[in-house]
Structure 1
Amino acid sequence: MGLFKKNPFGHILFVKKWLIRILGLLTHRRFRGFNELQIDGSEIIPDLPETKVLFISNHQTYFADVVAMFHVFNASLSGRVDSIKNVGYLWNPKLNIYYVAAKETMKSGLLPKILAYVGSVSIERTWRAEGKDVNRQVKMSDISNIGKALNDGWVITFPQGTTTPFKPIRKGTAHIIKRYKPIVVPIVIDGFRRSFDKKGLRVKKKNILQSIEIKEPLDIDYENETIDEIVEKIEYAIEQHPSFLKVISQEELLAEEELNKQREW
C-alpha cells in the first residue's frame, strides 16, 4: 500500500489505518473491561465477499454501536470467533468498512470529525434536522455515495435512522438494497443504551451485559420483492417489528432481573 494511497472518498489509507489502531486501543476496554461484550455469529464474517456487503442493525448510541462492530469485524477476520480478546487484531484492520451517519452529527465536534475520517458516509437526513422535524427530498449524491462505499467494501447502516427503539424502518434502505443488490447481513445489538450515554462516548454504567448477534444473510429477491416487503423483512431481521413488543408478566421480569444479576461479573 502506497503511503498516500486514498480510498474513493479521498481519505488517506495510511492515516485511516493509524486512526483505527489508536481509537481501537482507546475503546477496547469499553467492550472488554468496563463491560463484557457477548458476541454471537461472527464466524460468518470471514466468509463474506470483500465488497458489496450491507450490515443492517438496530441502533442504541451514535458511536459505540459502530465502534463495537469495527472491533468484532476485525477480530473475526483475524481468526477470533465470537471474541475480541487480544487487541492485536487492530494492527492490520480492514480499511474498507464504512458506516452511514447523519451529516450534522459527524460535524458536531473534533471527535466526530475524526470518526468520520475512519469511515463515515455522511448523509442529510430527510426527516430530522437540528432537533426539528423536516420533510425534504433525498439527495441523489447521498445515495450514490452509499453505492460508492458498497462497491469499495462493507457498509453498516441503521435503517431506523434513530436510537429510539421500534421506530419505523426508513424506506431508503430498501431502495438501496434493490438498487445495488448487496449481501444484507442483519445485526441485533443490546446493552449499549444502558452502558453508554446517547452519543456512546461516555461510559454511563459498568458491568452491563452488551451483546452483538450477527445473523445469516437475508434471502432477498432483488427484482421481484417490493420496497414494503423488504422493509418488513428488515423489521423482523433486526427485531424491530411491532410484533416484538409485548406485555411482559411480573414473573418474566423477575426471572430476567435474576438472570442479569448472574451475568454481572
Structure 2
Amino acid sequence: MIKVLKNFLPRPAKTSNSLLKALSYLDILGIFQKDPFGNPMLLKRFIIFIAGWPTFWRIAVANKLKVEGVEYLKELPDRNVFFISNHQTYFADVITFYHIFCNTKWGFGKKLFPIYLFAPRAFVFYVAAKETMKKGLIPKIFSLAGAILVERSWRAEGQNVKRNVDLSAGDNVSKALQEGWVVSFPQGTTSPYAPIRKGTAHIILDNKPIIVPVVINGFRRAFNKTGLKYKRRNTTLTVKFKPPFQVDENSTLEGITKTIEEIIEQSMPEMIAEWNALKEMAKRGE
C-alpha cells in the first residue's frame, strides 16, 4: 500500500530556486510540471483522461485483453526503464501500454479498472515515426501524450528510402529515459519479422536502462493498420511482459541487436517462413 501511495507523490521541480522547489512538493496535481521537452504535464494528463475512456472500451470491452507479467512492472523504478516490443498497429499497441501502466500505478493487477484515468502515469513516452504522427488531427493529439518523434532514415510514405540518420532521436530518448519510462518498437514498422534497427542498441549502450521485453499479439487481427478502426471484435489481445534485465559493459551493438530480435520473438524461422508464404498467397489472390 505504501509503495502504491508513493506513485502519487509529486516530483520536485528541477530548479535552484528553493521556494519553487518547496512549492513543487505540494503540486499533487502536477499543474506546474513539464516534461523533458518543455510540454506541460497537465495537458498530457488531460489528453490521457479524454482519450482513455473510448480506447478502454475498444481494448477491454469490445475485445478481450490478456496481460501477463504485470508483477514485473510493480517492481520497476520510476526512471530509466526501456520497454521494447514488436509492433502491430500504429496506435492501438502503445495506447494499450498506457492503460496497463496507469492501471499498475494504482496497484491493480491484470484486469483494467479505468478509474486510473483520473490520475494516470504521466511520465511515459513512446518512440514514433514523425510522418505518422503528423497525419491528421487524432495522431497530432496522441503525439502530445508523449511521442518522441523520429524521422526514419529507411522509410517514408510507405516507400524504402535512404537519407541521413536523425541524430536527435537518440538524445531525445535519453532525455525521456532520465524522467520516466519509454516504449520503443525497434523494428520501426508494423510488418512482422522486419529487421531490428541498430539505433535501439545505441540507446541501450548509452543509457544502460532496465530493459523490459514485450511481446504482443492479436492487435493486427482486431484493428486496421492504424489501430483506429475495428477489423474484428471479440478478439483476444495479448500483452506479455518478460523479466527485466540490463546489458553488461562488454555488450556489442550486434549482440544487443540479436538479443532484441530473440526476446521479442522476431527471429523464429518457421514463423517468418509462414508469414512470407501468406504474403505470397495474398498477392496471388488465393
TM score, norm. by length of structure 1: 0.89
Which of 68, 75, 79 lines up with 1:47 in the alignment?
75
Matched, 1:37 2:57: no
The AA in structure 1 aligned to 2:191 is T
What SS class does the counterpart of residue 161 from structure 1 fall into?
Answer: coil
Which of 216, 241, 264 lines up with 1:238 in the alignment?
264
The 8 Å contact of residues 45 and 77 in structure 1, kept in 2 or not, is answered as: no
The residue number in structure 1 matching 2:43 is: 15
The AA in structure 1 aligned to 2:159 is K
Which of 117, 131, 134 lines up with 1:90 in the alignment?
117
What SS class does the counterpart of residue 128 from structure 2 fall into?
Answer: strand
Unaligned runs of 5+ in 2: 1-26, 275-286
TM-superposition CA deviations, 1:128-171 (whole Å, max 9, x none) = 11222111222221111111111111100000001010111111
TM-superposition CA deviations, 1:152-192 (whole Å, max 9, x none) = 11100000001010111111101110011111100000000
Give the distance between the partners of 2:164 and 2:116, measured in 1 at CA.
41
What SS class does the counterpart of residue 254 from structure 2 fall into?
Answer: helix
The residue number in structure 1 matching 2:131 is: 104
Q: 1:69 deviation in Å?
A: 0.5
The 8 Å contact of residues 211 and 245 in structure 2, kept in 1 or not, is answered as: yes
Q: 1:3 deviation in Å?
A: 2.6
The 8 Å contact of residues 42 and 73 in structure 1, kept in 2 or not, is answered as: no
The AA in structure 2 aligned to 1:227 is L
Q: 1:246 deviation in Å?
A: 6.9
Highest CA radius of gyration, 1 or 2?
Answer: 2
Counterparts of 1:93-242 in structure 2 under 5 Å?
93-221=120-248, 223-242=249-268
What SS class does the counterpart of residue 204 from structure 1 fall into?
Answer: coil
TM-superposition CA deviations, 1:192-243 (whole Å, max 9, x none) = 000001000011111111100000013421x211111111111111000134
Q: Assess, with a 3 A threshold, how the Cα gap between structure 1 residues 196 and 219 changes in structure 2: closer, same or farther.
A: same
Q: Percent identity?
A: 47
Counterparts of 1:36-75 in structure 2 under 5 Å?
36-75=64-103
Give the distance between the partners of 2:183 and 2:273, measured in 1 at CA.
31
Q: Assess, with a 3 A threshold, how the Cα gap between structure 1 residues 208 and 175 changes in structure 2: closer, same or farther.
A: same
Q: Assess, with a 3 A threshold, how the Cα gap between structure 1 residues 109 and 233 changes in structure 2: closer, same or farther.
A: same
Q: 1:247 deviation in Å?
A: 7.0
Q: 1:20 deviation in Å?
A: 0.5
Q: 1:11 deviation in Å?
A: 1.5
The residue number in structure 2 matching 1:258 is: none
Equivalent residues, number:
246
Give the distance between the partners of 1:190 and 1:214, measured in 2 at CA.
12
TM score, norm. by length of structure 2: 0.83
The AA in structure 1 aligned to 2:163 is R
The 8 Å contact of residues 208 and 246 in structure 2, kept in 1 or not, is answered as: no
Q: Report the more deviating stretch, 177-186 or 238-247.
A: 238-247
Give the distance between the partners of 1:246 and 1:164, measured in 2 at CA.
11
TM-superposition CA deviations, 1:77-103 (whole Å, max 9, x none) = 21111121x211111111110000000
Unaligned runs of 5+ in 1: 249-265
TM-superposition CA deviations, 1:36-76 (whole Å, max 9, x none) = 10000011112111110000000000000000000111111
Higher relative contact order (CA 8 A, sep 6+): 1
Q: Assess, with a 3 A threshold, how the Cα gap between structure 1 residues 247 and 112 changes in structure 2: closer, same or farther.
A: closer
The 8 Å contact of residues 43 and 82 in structure 1, kept in 2 or not, is answered as: no
Q: 1:244 deviation in Å?
A: 5.5
